[in-house]
Structure 1
C-alpha cells in the first residue's frame, strides 16, 4: 500500500501576486489531503464521498458529471501520461481541508495523487519539478487560472517566503525559472498568532481571479502598479518583520494587502464582513487567505478566544488554527 499526503495552505502576505511574478509569504496547515494506492488488476478511482469508477480507456479520464469528485485524480493521471489497461491499482482520495475555501484543498489533493502514483510507477523528481508538474496539470488540463503558491506549498510545506520572479501564465513553461522557496519555520516561534475563519461561501479560485487578471493583461495602470510593485513589497517587508517577531508590522501589512483586494473588487462581501468583525474583536490584522469572493479569512490576533467567538457569531463556518506542517509525504508499506 502506498499513502501520500499533502497540506493545505493560507496566504499570509503578497497574494495573489504569485500569478504575476510577485512574492508571497505562505503557511501550510496541519489539515491534509490523502491518496492511498492498493494493488488491483484494474484501474479504480474512489473518493471519500463514495464515488467510484473503473477506468477502462482514456475517455474515462475526462471530467464526468456523474463522478465530479474524481475529476482531480483523473486530471493528474492524464497529465502523468497514465494509459488505462497498462497499469492497475485502486486509488482512493480523502481530505481534511475544506474544499473551495481558498485553502488550496484541490491542489493538495492533486499533489497527494501525483506523489502516490509517482511512487507506484517509479518516477523520481525533485520538489521544484513536482510543483511545476502539478501546476501544469491544474492550468493546462483543468483550465484553472492559478498562480504558483498553492503547488509549491503543497509540495514544500512549512512557512515560506517565496519569490516567483519571471514566472506567469503569460510566459512559456520551459522559459520560466524555478521559484525561490525560503523556509522561515525554524526561525519563527510557535504557535503562530493566526486564526482562519471560513466564510461558508464556496468559490472556484479561477473564477475569482479572472476579472482582475484580465485587467492586468490589458495593462490597466492601477492593477499593474498594485500587483507588480505594491503587493509584492508587502511580502518582502513581511519577511523581515516575521523574522524579527514584529507582529504589529505583519498585521499592518496584512491590512494593506486586504485594502488592495477590496479596492480592486477582488475581496467579496462575505470576506469584508468577517474582516470587519475580526478587527473589531481583538484581531490587529485580517485579510483573505486565498483568491477572494468567498473562501477564508486569515486573522492575526493575540485574543483568539474573543476573535473566534465574534467570528462564529457573525456566521463564520469552520475555524482553523494554522499549524505549519511538512509538505508532500509518500510512504509505502
Structure 2
C-alpha cells in the first residue's frame, strides 16, 4: 500500500513552534508530496522509520502488539526538493507513520491525528533531529493553519504538555499571492535548529536563575516579537490585507536574522537567504522571509495579487546570477489534504 504526506511552508511566526520560543505559527501544506510504500519484508528500515516503531512501542505497547514481530519495510520517493526548508524528511516520516496506522489497523481513537503528530515529533527527536511541532501537524493534517504552541517549549513526554491547537483557516482564505524561492543550497535544518535552540534555552535558563535580567535577554526578546507576528497576522490574513501581512513577514525576518546572529550564525539567517530577501523587497515585494531553518533552504516572497508570474521570472534570474544553479521559484499551491492513502 502507498501513502503520502504534503510538504509544508511556514508563512508567519516561525520558528516559535516550541523551538526558539513557544508562541504561534501560521503554516500551510503544499501540493508537493512525499510517498512511502509499506510492505512486509526483511529489508532494512531508515533510522527515522525505526524510530516511529520505537515510539509506538514506548507509548502504546498494546497497539504495537498489532505490528508484533512482523517485519516492516518500505520504499520511498518524494517530489519535495531535498533540504529545501519545506519539511521534506518530516513528510516522509508522516507518510510512514500514517501508513502504519492504516496497514496494521491501529486504534484511531488512541492514535488520533493529534497524538500521531506528537508521536512523529518524538520519533524524529529520538532519531537525533532537533525539531518543533509545526511540520508534524501540517504534514499530517494539511490545509492552512494557525497553530498555538504555548506550553510546549520543553518537549516533555506525551500527556505532560498540551496538544497543539490547530485551527484550519482555508475555509476563509484559499489564495495567498506567495512565491517560494528554493535556493538549492543544501544544509541540515536540524543542525541549524540545534545550535539556535541551544542558545535560546541557555538564555532562558539564565533569566530563570536571575543571572540575566529579562531586559538583557536579547534572543528571548527577538523571538517573542517573532511569535507575536503570527498572532497579529491572523487578522491580516483573514482580511486578505496583504500589505499588512507583508509588513509582519518583514518584522518576522528582521528579528529572526538578529536572533540568529546573537546565537552565533555569522550571516544570521544565511548569506544567500538575506540576499534574495533584500532583492525581492527592493523589487517591490510586500514581504519576504525564511520558510524553514535558514542557512539555505527556501525563502517565501509575498507579492501583489496577479504579479506572481513576472516576479517569479525576475527572482529566478537573480538567483541564477548569484551562482545558485539549482535554484527555482514556484507559486504557492495549497493542499487541503494532509497524509492520505494513494490509489494505485
Native 8 Å contact 2:52 2:119 kept in 1: no
Native 8 Å contact 1:208 1:292 kept in 2: yes
**Cα shift at 1:272:** 0.4
**Cα shift at 1:164:** 0.5
- Distance (Å, rounded) in 2 between the aligned partners of 1:171 and 1:241: 33
Native 8 Å contact 1:282 1:307 kept in 2: no
Partner of 2:286: 284
Look up the SS of the partner of 1:175 in the other structure.
coil
Picking from 72, 80, 87, the partner of 2:70 is 87
- Distance (Å, rounded) in 1 between the aligned partners of 2:292 and 2:331: 16
Native 8 Å contact 2:37 2:76 kept in 1: yes
Picking from 231, 237, 251, the partner of 1:256 is 251
Partner of 2:299: 297
- Distance (Å, rounded) in 1 between the aligned partners of 2:186 and 2:331: 19
- Distance (Å, rounded) in 2 between the aligned partners of 1:34 and 1:119: 14
**Cα shift at 1:80:** 3.6
Displaced runs of 4 or more, over 6 A? 82-85
Structure 1, unaligned runs of 5 or more:
44-53, 56-60, 62-69
Picking from 112, 115, 126, the partner of 1:129 is 115
Partner of 2:168: 183
Partner of 1:158: 143
**CA RMSD across the alignment:** 2.1
Count of residue pairs the alignment pairs up: 304
Native 8 Å contact 2:48 2:123 kept in 1: no
Partner of 1:312: 316
Q: 1:78 to 1:23 in 2, by over 3 A?
A: same
Look up the SS of the partner of 1:233 in the other structure.
helix
Native 8 Å contact 1:282 1:304 kept in 2: no
How far does the alpha carbon of each residue in 1:147-196 deviate from its partner, in whole angstroms, 9 at most, with x for none?
Answer: 11100101111001000010023544431111111111110143x20000
Matched, 1:327 2:343: no
- Distance (Å, rounded) in 1 between the aligned partners of 2:128 and 2:151: 21
Partner of 2:52: 76
How far does the alpha carbon of each residue in 1:58-105 deviate from its partner, in whole angstroms, 9 at most, with x for none?
Answer: xxx5xxxxxxxx343333344444799921455211111112111000
Partner of 2:124: 138
Partner of 2:208: none
- Distance (Å, rounded) in 2 between the aligned partners of 1:252 and 1:85: 53
Look up the SS of the partner of 1:98 in the other structure.
coil
How far does the alpha carbon of each residue in 1:3-58 deviate from its partner, in whole angstroms, 9 at most, with x for none?
Answer: 211111111110000022210000110001111224x5x23xxxxxxxxxx24xxx
- Distance (Å, rounded) in 2 between the aligned partners of 1:97 and 1:170: 27
- Distance (Å, rounded) in 1 between the aligned partners of 2:341 and 2:284: 40
Q: 1:170 to 1:244 in 2, by over 3 A?
A: same
Look up the SS of the partner of 2:117 in the other structure.
helix
**Cα shift at 1:120:** 1.6
Native 8 Å contact 2:49 2:93 kept in 1: yes
Matched, 1:224 2:220: yes
- Distance (Å, rounded) in 1 between the aligned partners of 2:26 and 2:311: 23
Native 8 Å contact 1:216 1:224 kept in 2: yes
Partner of 2:184: 200
How far does the alpha carbon of each residue in 1:283-317 deviate from its partner, in whole angstroms, 9 at most, with x for none?
Answer: 21100001111110000012223321222122251
Q: 1:130 to 1:215 in 2, by over 3 A?
A: same
Native 8 Å contact 1:153 1:327 kept in 2: yes
Partner of 2:199: 215
